[in-house]
Copies of this chain bind each other. A is one copy, B any other.
């Protein structure tokens, strides 16, 4: 067990935004929210799964919706506490700890807010080791864990709870409700025991995010080439350097979808990169050829500072390095690829692990 304090939160939010692969929410809003909770209620305890009992019940808390809306609408906090508590009430069981469902600037720290408000510990694992746009896209699904009871809450005080026959149906219902709630909702879902999570979760994601965040903050001030330092810290590969050109976005069915075009600079001069996203970055083509796809991670780092740029923060003229990071092994299984591989998202291409293409 160790203590998560204000300093740790800033690092986690920043580092998780790299793992958030363009999505997972804005790290600044996440950081503000969690910092306030820790100031008001005190620091929180972070446990590894091994430090808990096998039958302890763990519930993830998160925000869902289009990140384009999230940047304009700060969650009020009571909504996420509502969503979380209703699961314990519905199951009529005590919840031992909270966890992140995904890595991301916001969704890595939303659980910290819940932990601080409710004086509950947090567990150092998540359901992705990255961020994905749809509810069923978690390692829990690969291991047969139900997303339900699944709860949603909005800032007005409305609550929706569902029990579904599979996690795809949860996505369908939850997406409609999130749209009704204003394209954004607070959720609690995938209740599971520690024993289940030892098999089904991606462990150590929060600590990993924290180390990445520390590296970025140090690199900003100390390094000649901050991007290289960050890239090495995440075990990633350089894919491209370029200037952001057109960004076409639309908020559609509760998602921020779109495509960005980058013109190469330096050794990539003359090349064009096309980036597709749906909340998260999904696929990179260079001069029309697929180079990186889900489930591997795609991150855009500011070329001068090494800081991650989320999909909604992409603007014309930004100079970025595009890096690719190997995903958690669970995503490379047949079930993992069926759930969140390139073909699920409509890209007619085989998944090639990033380290096969870019070598070590």
Q: Could you list which residues of chain A lie within 8 angstroms of chain B, going by C-beta atoms?
A: 90, 156-165, 169, 172-173, 176-177, 179-180
Contacts and interface: CB of A to CB of B under 8 A. Distances in A.
B164 A161 contact: no
A176 B173 CA distance: 8
Contact of A169 (B90, B158, B179): B158
Contacts of A90: 90
B180 A176 contact: yes
A162 B161 contact: yes
Contact of A165 (B156, B162, B163): B156
B158 A164 contact: yes
A343 to B, nearest CB: 24
A162 B158 contact: yes
Contacts of A158: 162-165, 169, 173
8 contacts: A158-B165, A158-B169, A159-B162, A160-B160, A160-B161, A160-B162, A172-B180, A173-B180
Contact of A160 (B157, B165, B173, B179): B173
A188 to B, nearest CB: 14
Nearest to A150: B160
Given A156-B169, A158-B162, A176-B180, 11 more contacts: A157-B165, A158-B164, A159-B163, A159-B164, A160-B160, A161-B162, A173-B177, A176-B176, A176-B177, A176-B179, A177-B177
A90 B160 CA distance: 13
A303 B165 CA distance: 47
Query: Among A159, A160, A161, A164, which residue has the most Cβ atoms of chain B within 10 A?
Result: A160
A90 B180 CA distance: 23
A87 to B, nearest CB: 12
A283 to B, nearest CB: 28
A67 to B, nearest CB: 21
Nearest to A86: B163
Nearest to A92: B92
A149 to B, nearest CB: 9
A255 to B, nearest CB: 16
A170 to B, nearest CB: 9
